Amino acid sequence: MAAVDVAADSAPRHARRVAMVSGGVGGLGTEICRALARQGHRVVAVDLPVEGDRLARFRDQTAGLDVQLESVDVGDFAACGSLVQRIEGACGSVDILVNAAGITRDTRLANMDPAQWDDVLRVNLDGVFNLCRHAVAGMVARGFGRIVNISSVNGQTGQFGQTNYAAAKAGMHGFTMALAREVARKGVTVNSVSPGYCETAMVMAVPDAVRERIVESVPVGRLGRPHEIARAVTFLTAEDAGFITGANLPVNGGLFMSF
Ligand code: CAA
């Protein structure tokens, strides 16, 4: 007779968790906050200080949802530590961490100055280390955690003008697999999502002609929508996603297919 997996059957599908989303005011980050809040989670969006129109837009987009805003520079190790402590103090835990903070400084390597390299590595890769380093201990102690690192198709394929960004995004996935192994027996999963080109300010900043050429090469024939990335995050952070770890989930409209 087949064994019945009682644990899986009785696992709550919709436990209310505390989720922290870096880059929470960004194009993908806000949609991820909204999606996690709609799952019933208490969400903390973290980003650099925001004000004016950008803040008003964020408030509007998250109105009626349990999303609070905290400011931090993810490249600042000590500040990330204080932030995690503050959230754990106020909310009891950080159960879900989504690292979505990311910037570009696109230019050919021949023209790239060290600041353009450092800025991208600091935010996109150090930021992942800084938040994971502080958040993971609590997850391990409580026996539950979901970490999702938002990487990029360009970390898988490289992109002209993105040696810095591609290095950071590929590095994120190496980090993801290594940490996944370290915490696999503690109820903590660590995965990456690799979006393709989406309808965000970052992608709209690419020169029109270049972007149009890229979109033409996407099998689905269009840019991705932020909620389509958020869908991958809610999938990987679900209570019953505990057997998926160290994985990369591409969400790129078929731009790069691999297995
Ligand atoms: N492939 C091959 N050659 C290219 C090229 C490409 N994709 N793009 C430009 N070139 C060529 C140019 O035609 C030019 O050739 P000539 O010297 O023979 O005329 C040469 O390279 C130099 O071009 P530029 O002077 O324009 O190069 P630059 O150093 O100023 O950099 C660039 C140009 C800023 C990189 C520009 O090409 C660009 O913005 N490209 C898009 C980069 C991109 O896709 N970024 C993604 C941002 S969104 C994101 O990152 C989100 C995500 O995760 C998907």
pLDDT of 10 = 53
CB-CB contact of 104 with 160 (8 Å) = no
Is the domain covering 18-251 a CATH 3.40.50.720 domain?
yes
- For Cα atoms 148, 152, 153, give the angle at the middle one, nearest 5 degrees: 130
pLDDT of 6 = 47
Beta strand 96-99 pairing with 42-47:
unpaired
Task: Name the H helices within the chain.
Answer: 6-10, 27-38, 52-61, 77-91, 114-121, 127-142, 153-157, 163-183, 201-204, 208-216, 226-237
Is 109's C-beta closer than 6 angstroms to any atom of ligand 1?
no
Q: Which of 99, 206, 217 maximizes ligand 1 atoms within 8 Å of its Cβ, making it the mutation to test the pocket?
A: 206
pLDDT of 1 = 47
Q: Can you tell me which atom of ligand 1 is nearest the CA of 197?
A: 54
Q: Which residues contact 48 (CB under 8 A, 6 or more apart)?
A: 71, 72, 73
Residue found by looking up tokens 């190790």 in the block: 77
Is 197's C-beta closer than 6 angstroms to any atom of ligand 1?
yes
User: 0.75 exceeded by the pTM?
Assistant: yes
Residues annotated as catalytic (active site), given as ranges: 165
Q: How many whole angstroms separate alpha carbon 248 and alpha carbon 99?
A: 14
C-alpha gyration radius of the chain: 18
Is 207's C-beta closer than 6 angstroms to any atom of ligand 1?
yes
Shortest-distance Cα residue to atom 13 of ligand 1: 210
Shortest-distance Cα residue to atom 40 of ligand 1: 161
Q: How many whole angstroms separate alpha carbon 223 and alpha carbon 220?
A: 8
pLDDT of 12 = 63
- For Cα atoms 61, 62, 65, give the angle at the middle one, nearest 5 degrees: 150
Q: Can you tell me which atom of ligand 1 is nearest the CA of 104?
A: 50
Q: Can you tell me which atom of ligand 1 is nearest the CA of 207?
A: 39
Q: What's the average pLDDT block by block, 10 residues per block, for the chain (259 residues)?
A: 50 82 97 98 98 97 98 98 98 98 98 98 98 98 98 98 98 98 98 98 96 97 98 98 98 97
Is 104's C-beta closer than 6 angstroms to any atom of ligand 1?
yes
Q: Can you tell me which atom of ligand 1 is nearest the CA of 169?
A: 53
Residue found by looking up tokens 């696999």 in the block: 184
Q: Where does residue 84 rank: exposed (0-12), middle (13-18), buried (19+ CB within 10 A)?
A: buried
